[in-house]
């Protein structure tokens, strides 16, 4: 109850502490993280963020204590380590902006301990995961204060991309994304070159390849403009995993996610590769090797096919992930390249219409969304270009659009019917208004 009351008081602007009270309260809250009661521990964690905003001189005590808990290797201390990680991230996030010198002090005290723990020989995987979590928070909030640590951080993060634990690989990928924002060119170049080399190596296993693709996507989302000069090396190596000889659907998904990120974040530098990327997207937007749709014309048979599609079990089928990522990549092309609308209507729009019959609902909704973005771009571009023939191209497709959407409005899934109705409405408004 006392912690709950403290938490409520800490939320008030009028709550003040003198130096003595500040120290006592901070020490008490830190001590209660180790309490035998889960409810007490939970309340102590909740107090950490608000307390970090209120105290003036006890941040270093909090940081040192919580970092120590994060690194504890004793058996039975897993829960304390997790609570300390959550608390430390809350403290980092809630550092008052007026504490100009505190971030540098905090980074100097915490980062070397995290780097040492991650890079230790025979490091405890749980401790490594905890340290990566905290390192993510530090890089995101105080990356500019970590310039002296960038090289050592990169050195310990990169091996974790090959960890046997998927959650560790994911955390390491996130760290690279944040590190790329503030790291100098020489370290950034080293980071990207290592990723490219691993992608191009025949010795890299599929699991690691997926991680490296995700890492490139994370870096491009953070600082796409810095990746432009590497695209001539990156894209050919990524594209080779989209050929027919690769049967790893999850790897293909990561490839298209990588394309999508690069299209969105490197729009100028990726221009020479647009045709190749678009061609790959169109090749895989219908990628469904384990299911064959007979596409019968008879309406009754079509309804039977729809029922079969809805009852089809794809628990072990990952091909829908490829279709979805290819669709999203096409969407990225549409929203970033209005000058390509003529080509999009000639080559992409007809394919999207055929995919209205997609059997996986989430992918179908993405197809609807992608076509919706095509309509939005058409409206915006046509208003600016009075001599454009885009509306004529759109009107020529209206019969197919209406036919494809109407069939989906007869389906059993509410989201599908709603999405189909919205798309039909949008198509009608676009052709009538323009």
DSSP string, 212-280: HHHHHHHHHHHHHHHHGGGHHHHHHHHHGGGSTT---HHHHHHHHHHHHHHHHH-TTTTGGGHHHHHHH
- Which of 57, 86, 54 minimizes the C-alpha distance to 69? 86
Is residue 388, in this structure, part of any structural domain at all?
A: no
C-alpha 355/C-alpha 31 separation (Å) is 59
pLDDT confidence of residue 387:
53
pLDDT confidence of residue 202:
77
- Which of 160, 165, 264 minimizes the C-alpha distance to 215? 160
- 175 near 157, Cβ under 8 Å? yes
Is residue 257, in this structure, part of any structural domain at all?
A: no
* pTM across the whole model: 0.85
Secondary element (H or E) of residue 129? helix 125-142
C-alpha 368/C-alpha 350 separation (Å) is 13
- 242 near 284, Cβ under 8 Å? yes
Is residue 315, in this structure, part of any structural domain at all?
A: no
Instruction: Provide the domain limits for residue 102.
Output: 1-183
Is residue 162, in this structure, part of any structural domain at all?
A: yes
Contacts 24+ apart (CB under 8 A), 318-322: 318/249, 318/250, 318/253, 319/249, 319/287, 319/288, 319/289, 319/290, 320/288, 320/360, 320/362, 320/363, 321/249, 321/250, 321/253, 322/249, 322/252, 322/253, 322/256, 322/284, 322/287
pLDDT confidence of residue 16:
87
pLDDT confidence of residue 206:
86
Cβ within 8 Å of residue 366, ≥6 positions away = 324, 327, 328, 331
- 310 near 359, Cβ under 8 Å? yes
In which residue ranges of the chain is pLDDT below 50? 294-305, 308-313
Is residue 177, in this structure, part of any structural domain at all?
A: yes
CATH of the domain at 109: 1.25.10.10
DSSP 340: G
Q: What's the domain count of the chain?
A: 1
Is residue 246, in this structure, part of any structural domain at all?
A: no
Secondary element (H or E) of residue 429? helix 414-433
CA atoms within 13 A on the CB side of 153: 31
What is the tens place of the pLDDT at every residue in 273-296? 999 999 999 999 999 887 765 444
Is residue 175, in this structure, part of any structural domain at all?
A: yes
pLDDT confidence of residue 432:
64
C-alpha 220/C-alpha 181 separation (Å) is 10
Is residue 153, in this structure, part of any structural domain at all?
A: yes
What is the tens place of the pLDDT at every residue in 220-254? 999 988 999 999 999 999 999 988 777 889 999 99
């Amino acid at each position: 109850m006392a912690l709950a009351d403290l938490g409520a008081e800490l939320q008030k602007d009028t709550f003040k502490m003198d130096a003595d009270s500040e120290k006592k309260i901070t020490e008490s809250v830190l001590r209660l993280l180790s309490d035998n009661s889960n409810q007490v521990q939970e309340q102590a964690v909740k107090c950490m963020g608000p307390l970090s905003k209120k105290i003036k001189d006890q941040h270093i005590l909090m940081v040192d204590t919580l970092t120590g808990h994060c690194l504890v290797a004793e058996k039975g201390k897993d829960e304390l380590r997790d609570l300390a990680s959550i608390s430390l991230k809350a403290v980092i996030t809630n550092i008052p902006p007026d504490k100009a010198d505190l971030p540098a002090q905090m980074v100097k005290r915490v980062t070397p301990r995290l780097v040492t723990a991650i890079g230790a020989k025979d490091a405890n995987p749980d401790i490594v995961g905890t340290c990566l979590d905290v390192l993510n928070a530090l890089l995101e909030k105080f990356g500019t204060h970590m310039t002296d640590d960038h090289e050592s951080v990169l050195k310990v993060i990169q091996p974790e991309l090959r960890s046997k634990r998927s959650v560790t690989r994911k955390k390491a990928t996130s760290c690279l994304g944040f590190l790329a924002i503030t790291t100098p060119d020489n370290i950034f170049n080293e980071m990207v070159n290592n990723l490219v080399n691993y992608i191009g190596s025949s010795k890299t296993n599929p699991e690691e390849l997926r991680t490296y693709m995700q890492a490139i996507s994370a870096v491009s989302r953070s600082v796409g403009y810095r990746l432009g000069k590497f695209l001539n090396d990156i894209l050919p190596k990524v594209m080779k995993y989209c050929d027919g000889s690769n049967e790893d659907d999850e790897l293909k998904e990561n490839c298209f996610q990588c394309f999508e990120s690069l299209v969105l974040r490197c729009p100028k530098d990726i221009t020479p590769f647009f045709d190749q990327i678009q061609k790959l997207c169109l090749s895989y937007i219908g990628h469904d090797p384990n299911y064959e749709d007979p596409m019968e014309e008879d309406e009754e048979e079509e309804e039977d096919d729809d029922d079969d599609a809805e009852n089809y079990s794809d628990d072990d089928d990952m091909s829908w992930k490829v279709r979805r990522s290819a669709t999203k990549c096409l969407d990225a092309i549409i929203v970033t390249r209005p000058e390509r609308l003529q080509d999009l209507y000639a080559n992409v729009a007809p394919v999207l219409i055929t995919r209205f019959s997609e059997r996986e609902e989430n992918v179908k909704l993405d197809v609807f969304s992608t076509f919706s973005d095509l309509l939005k771009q058409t409206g915006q571009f046509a208003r600016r270009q009075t001599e454009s023939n885009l509306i004529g191209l759109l009107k020529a497709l209206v019969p197919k659009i209406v036919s494809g959407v109407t069939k989906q409005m007869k389906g059993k899934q509410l989201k599908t019917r709603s999405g189909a109705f919205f798309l039909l409405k949008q198509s009608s408004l676009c052709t009538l208004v323009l």
